[in-house]
Structure formats: structure tokens, C-alpha cells
Amino acid sequence: MSQAKELFEEAQVLRNNGQINEALKLYTEAFREAAIEQDRFLFAECLHMMGVSLYQDKNFSEALEYLEKARKEFEYDKNIALLAAVLRDMGSVSASMGNITEGISYFQKSIELLKDLGNRGHPGVSKVKLGKLTNSEELVLEGIKDIVQSEDRFFEAIAYVNLAEVSIELNKSKEAIKSLA
């Protein structure tokens, strides 16, 4: 395994455990190493994860800058799946910044790009995020159905949490409790 990949994997563990500042340091090191090793994919993925980390740290404007750089890299490489994932993350950041219309647009672009890839899980996640943003229980349920029917069910639990949040917004407390269960 390359030095860049090792650093990236260490950063992923730190980020997943809420150690955002430490993760950002390692992502930055991995980014530099990926550039030296001329690993374009890892270079772009470091940008993506730095943006996600900054979003988790509520540093929205800087997160959007990194995600935009990652978007350009994945677009250049024609990596549709990761381009769509970055657009979804840009939607979340934009919505958190109060730019609801922009957030909706990013989620819709993500869904559109993913519809022909065959894996229903990732467009399902984008549908859930869009449904949460627009308080559309129907869209969240459609996204959950896609996730459940896919091979990649990584986001299933958070999708049900998002459904519960929408149910609460719609004054459907029994449905919210059911979703959380």
C-alpha cells in the first residue's frame, strides 16, 4: 500500500471517530503524497474527504471550496459515481448555509447522474437527502426503498433517521418512532 493510501485510511478512521482536526492533518499529508505519487484518484478523494470533514466541523464555506475542487477532479476523470457523491455533499453544505435552492439543485444533479449506474443505493441516499431538505416523506421513502434494494446498504440507518426527522416536521410522531426503531 502506498504512503498516500495509508495516510488516507488513517484519516478515514479518525474522521469516522469524530477526530476531525487530526483527520484533516492526515488528509492534507495524504493529498501531498498522492500528488507526488501521481495518484489522481486518491488526490481527488482527499479533496472530497477534506470537504466532508470541514462540513462535519461546520466550516461550511471552506468545505464547499474543497468539494468544488473535488468535483472538478472527478468531472475531469469522468468518475460519475464520485462526482455524484460530491454533488450530494455540496447539497448538504449548501443547505446548511441556508442556500436551499442551491442544495436542492445539487441533490437533483446527483440523482440524475446516478440513475443509470445500476447501483440503487447511492441515488437512494441522494433522494433521502433531497426529501429531508424538502420535507417530502414520499421522496425519503423512495430513497430508502432504493437503498434497501441495493447491494450497498451503508446509508440505510441514517436514511431512517432522516425519515424520522421528516415525520416529526410533518407532525407524525408515531411514524417517527417507527422509523427510529
Cell output for 105: 439543485
Q: In a structure prediction context, what are the per-residue pLDDT tens digits for the chain, which is 181 residues long?
A: 899 999 999 999 999 999 999 999 999 999 999 999 999 999 999 999 999 999 999 999 999 999 999 999 999 999 999 999 999 999 999 999 999 999 999 999 999 998 877 766 788 999 999 999 999 999 999 999 989 988 877 788 888 889 888 999 999 999 989 888 8
pTM reported for the whole predicted model: 0.90
Give the single-character DSSP code of 172.
-
